[in-house]
Amino acid sequence: MAAAALREQLNALLASMFASGLVDEQFQQLQMLQDDGSTPGFVAEVVTLFCDDADRIISELAALLEQPVVDFDKVDAYVHQLKGSSASIGAQKVKFTCMQFRQLCQDKNRDGCIMALAVVRNEFYDLRNKFQTMLQLEQQIQAQQ
C-alpha cells in the first residue's frame, strides 16, 4: 500500500484515539519527544514498556482478588502503580478507571474491585490493540521510505 494511504490510516487511527478519550495530551508529549528527531523509536519503546508493565500488574491484581481474604493495601498499591504509568504515557481511559478502582480499594469493596479489574483489563486490551496497529502502520510507512 502506498505510504500516503498508510499515513492517512495512521492519522485516522490517532485522531479516533484522541477523540474517544483513549489517550490525552500527555501522549502528544510523547509524540513530540519522538518528532524531535533524535529517537525515532521512542514512542514504540515507551508504549511497549507500559504494556508489559500493565500486563504484569493486571495479573497480580487478578491473583490478589482471588484470595479468600483480600489484601486491599496491596491491591491499592498496584492500582496506584498502574494509574501512575498510564498517566505518564497519556492512557487516559485506563487512568480514570484506575482512579475509580482506588476508591473501591479504599472502601474495601471486593465485588466492586473485581468489576473494576474487568473494566481496566478490557480498556487496556483495547488500548494495546490500537497501539499495536499504530506501531505496525508506522513500521510499514517507514519501510516505504
Partner 1 sequence: MAVATETPFHVLAVDDSLPDRKLIERLLKTSSFQVTTVDSGSKALEFLGIHGEDSSPPVSVHEDQLEVAVNLIITDYCMPGMTGYDLLKKIKESTSLRDIPVVIMSSENIPSRINRCLEEGADEFFLKPVRLSDMSKLKPHILKSRCKEHYQQEQHQQSDSSSNECSNTTNSSSSSENSNSRKRKAEDNEEVLPQTNRSRHS
Read off the C-alpha cell for 29: 508529549
22 makes contact with partner 1 (CB under 8 A): no
Which residues 91-110 are close enough to bind partner 1 by CB under 8 A?
none
Are the beta carbons of 66 and 113 closer than 8 angstroms? no
For 23, which DSSP code? S
Are the beta carbons of 90 and 28 closer than 8 angstroms? yes
- Residue selected from 1, 3, 5, 49 as contacting partner 1 according to rule CB under 8 A: 49
* Size of the residue set binding partner 1 (CB under 8 A): 23
- Residue selected from 17, 22, 30, 79 as contacting partner 1 according to rule CB under 8 A: 30
The identity of residue 31, as a single letter, is Q
Read off the C-alpha cell for 122: 478490557
Q: Which stretch binds partner 1 (CB under 8 A): 12-20, 25-33, 67-75, 119-127?
A: 25-33
Are the beta carbons of 10 and 138 closer than 8 angstroms? yes
Chain residues that interact with partner 1, rule: CB under 8 A? 26, 29-30, 32-33, 36, 38-39, 42, 45-46, 49-50, 53, 80-81, 83-85, 87-90
